[in-house]
Amino acid sequence: MIQLTVAAYTGLCGGRLARLQRSLGVGVRRCADGYVNITAAGRARLPRLLTMIGQTQAAAEVDPLAIEPAQREELEAAYQGWLRTRPKRAVVQLAQQHGLLAGAFNTVAEVLRDPHYRERGVWDEIDHPQAGRLTYPGRPFKFSNAIRAQPTRAPLLDEHGDEIRAAAADTKLAADARANPASDATPPAERDDLPLPLQDIRVAEITVVWAGPHVTQLLGQWGADVIRIEPANRVQPFTRGMERVPTPEQARELVARGAPVGYPDTDPGLDPWNRNAAFNSHARNKRSMTCDIMTPEGRAAVLRLVAKCDVLVENNVPETIDKAGLDWPTLTAVNPRLVMLRMPAFALEGPYRNFRAFGLHVEAMIGHTMLRGYPNASPEILSESLASDGISGVQGALAVMMALRHRQRTGKGQLIELPLTEGFLPTLGEFVLDAAMNGRDAAGLGNSHRRHAPHNVYRCAGDDDWIAIDVGSDQEFAALCGVLALDDLPGDARFATAAGRRDNLAALDARISAATVERDKEQLFHALQAAGVCAAPTHNAVQALADPQLNARGFFEELPTGDERREHRYPGLMFRMAYTPNRLRTPPARLGEHDREIYRDLLGYSETEFQALRQRGLVGTRFPPHIWQPPPAEEQSR
């Protein structure tokens, strides 16, 4: 979604994310027993990392944005030398104590042994009549005011067949008796004149980066009045992109390198906070209220807003909300019907409670990164997937809807705890069970599959053009060979079965690659699909914007952007509903765009009170110059 918005703004797309240059204090490094990923970028965090590794003088003197190459090399050598003597868990613990974002690269088996998840009660232990006692990933989130159903074991084959068939027969008899004419009704049609399902729900959000904003994006798409609470006097990390505003030339270079940084025409303009593609990709269908929650005035405004809301969503490190005095007991006292969704990286309680992390650190800690790594290769070559943010966004929206449904029945609000780690673990269930049952610790699957073969991405004609192919049966393999004119392969004993193809994968991939390298990826895609083979061309973001299927579906929609309100294309809805308007309604919210209507009309502030907040810089539509004006070009280029 972010890269599509970058491409729509700039007409450009970058190379692979793995090609991004590693900078001092950022990225994957080897330690004594594996790898860690620590993020210590910028003037605030790099000195903390240098202090941690004993480089106290450099921490006090070095300007992170203007390090000479020789000194950079010297500090990098000191950093790597420090890491090589320390185990990954100890490194992460120490980095977190210094306020750095950090995660260790664990395997699934290491996650199963991690005391944090044991203490959190993440795993379900269930007896199975054939397999014995099994460890399953448990609940992805926790409710404070609802009892979770007791988990049950996986059923045996056809264990409940008789009772289901009997019930189905009874249902058919009842349906035949009713002779329901609706069974031949015309398929439902979209209706623009009907209300959206969440139009009476008001949601406040105090969110950063993507996981939390993705929850409210989904709620806003279906009608909720989403009010984004954000400061105008300080920077929220990695949200509106104000840590460092590039020049247009630097913005183009960043896009070319695959960084998720994009502005219309690659120009940050005079309001870069309103033109940042990463933020705008999820900021549609929302309102913006500027408010610094860390001030007494900001806290008071939030409490007044919460009293008028149904839902509050936040995904900050837990201590941030605690320091702001906006914890659950305080908020539920103001509004007992409130549903609050908290989305920490690791948990509200437990050994990792206040650990700071992005999705890339989360996925390393729970085993996902090692699973998608390449055989016999370090995780240093991998790009970021950000799957945990996307999954948590969908799960968070689902959890909020469940809590609202519960409130509708009981009249009670509740707190939802959805750590990114625990929300992701159920998607790794197959690998968790394999590690627990069989002692196999899968890692380094790369593009391969545990059963299917071939299963890979193969080069085609063109500049870095590829096609993904997944063969799940002998019949599909024969069809693949027919399209690629590899008629000798089905009769080759090495490739006659899936097991044989997996055992001889290198030789098989070499033959397929030699056949695809001269083929156009789009034409080959259609030929393979017509033959019944699962295949798809790899598309960069610019190519995806031109995809005929997406455009025929009307997936992309145009919305005004930034202060100038020029229209740009945005990714549309993830799904559509019958009898429901299915379109984006409002453009990305500009900073403080809705301050007056929220403070004055909704919260009842007087004009005098409102103007006092504006004069103090606590409310506004612009960041102060010292936050966002770029440093000189020669300094930025270092």
Q: Which domains does the chain have, with CATH numbers?
A: 2-106 (3.30.1540.10), 202-426+576-636 (3.40.50.10540), 455-545 (3.30.1540.10)
Range in 244-253, 506-515, 545-554, 595-604 with the lowest mean pLDDT: 244-253
Query: Is 187 a residue whose pLDDT tops 80?
Result: no
pTM of the model: 0.92
| pLDDT tens figures, 361-374 | 999 999 999 999 99
Q: Does the bond joining 630 to the residue before it have cis omega, within 30 degrees of 0?
A: no
Query: Is 527 a residue whose pLDDT tops 80?
Result: yes
Mean pLDDT for the stretch of residues 189-210: 90
Between residues 415 and 237, the one the model is more confident about: 415
Determine the pLDDT at residue 7: 94
Query: How far is Cα 410 from Cα 366, in angstroms, rounded to an integer?
Result: 36
| pLDDT tens figures, 251-275 | 998 888 778 889 999 999 999 999 9
Determine the pLDDT at residue 188: 63
Name the amino acid, one letter, at 126: I
- Percent of the chain clearing pLDDT 90 (strictly above): 81
Query: Is 638 a residue whose pLDDT tops 50?
Result: no
| pLDDT tens figures, 116-128 | 999 999 999 999 9
Mean pLDDT for the stretch of residues 604-608: 98
DSSP 8-state secondary structure symbol assigned to residue 275: T
Banded model confidence at residue 383, pLDDT cuts 50, 70, 90: confident
Mean pLDDT for the stretch of residues 168-190: 62
Query: How far is Cα 404 from Cα 312, in angstroms, rounded to an integer?
Result: 12
Query: Is 173 a residue whose pLDDT tops 80?
Result: no
Picking from 382, 342, 377, the residue whose alpha carbon sits closest to that of residue 360 is: 382
Query: How far is Cα 579 from Cα 636, in angstroms, rounded to an integer?
Result: 52
Angle between helices 248-256 and 2-10 (to 10 degrees): 130
Picking from 319, 255, 232, 354, the residue whose alpha carbon sits closest to that of residue 621 is: 232
Which pairing describes strands 311-314 and 101-104: parallel, antiparallel, or unpaired?
Answer: unpaired
Buried b / exposed e along 296-313 (16+ C-beta atoms within 10 A): ebbbebbbbbbeebbbbb
What sign has the CA pseudo-torsion 413, 417, 422, 423?
A: positive
345 near 217, Cβ under 8 Å? no
Sheet holding 534-537, edge to edge: 455-459, 466-470, 534-537
| pLDDT tens figures, 219-254 | 999 999 999 999 999 999 889 999 889 999 999 988
Distances in whole angstroms, Cα of residue 274 to Cα of each of 221, 558, 584: 20, 16, 18
Banded model confidence at residue 180, pLDDT cuts 50, 70, 90: low
Joined tokens for residue 181: 């004419």
**Chain length of the chain:** 638
Query: How far is Cα 417 from Cα 204, in angstroms, rounded to an integer?
Result: 16
Range in 483-497, 554-568, 569-583, 620-634 with the lowest mean pLDDT: 620-634
Angle between helices 505-516 and 474-484 (to 10 degrees): 40
At residue 384's C-alpha, the angle toward residues 378 and 387, to 5°, is: 120
Determine the pLDDT at residue 562: 85
| 287 three-state secondary structure | strand
Query: Is 455 a residue whose pLDDT tops 80?
Result: yes
Banded model confidence at residue 443, pLDDT cuts 50, 70, 90: confident
Banded model confidence at residue 174, pLDDT cuts 50, 70, 90: low
Picking from 6, 17, 113, the residue whose alpha carbon sits closest to that of residue 382 is: 17
Mean pLDDT for the stretch of residues 83-102: 97
Query: Is 64 a residue whose pLDDT tops 90?
Result: no
Mean pLDDT for the stretch of residues 560-564: 88
Query: How far is Cα 298 from Cα 194, in angstroms, rounded to an integer?
Result: 37
Banded model confidence at residue 633, pLDDT cuts 50, 70, 90: very low
Banded model confidence at residue 635, pLDDT cuts 50, 70, 90: very low
Name the amino acid, one letter, at 157: L
Query: How far is Cα 104 from Cα 31, in angstroms, rounded to an integer?
Result: 10
Mean pLDDT for the stretch of residues 73-86: 96
Determine the pLDDT at residue 630: 53
Range in 180-184, 422-426, 525-529 with the lowest mean pLDDT: 180-184
Query: How far is Cα 337 from Cα 572, in angstroms, rounded to an integer?
Result: 32
Start-to-end CA span in the chain (Å):
31
Q: Residue 144: CB partners within 8 Å, gap ≥ 6?
A: 328, 414, 415, 416, 417
Determine the pLDDT at residue 62: 87
370 near 36, Cβ under 8 Å? no
35 near 110, Cβ under 8 Å? no
Picking from 213, 211, 238, the residue whose alpha carbon sits closest to that of residue 391 is: 211
Banded model confidence at residue 636, pLDDT cuts 50, 70, 90: very low
Picking from 543, 499, 505, 506, the residue whose alpha carbon sits closest to that of residue 525 is: 543
What does R_g of the chain's alpha carbons equal in angstroms?
27
| pLDDT tens figures, 585-596 | 999 999 999 999
| pLDDT tens figures, 319-352 | 999 999 999 999 999 999 999 999 999 999 999 9
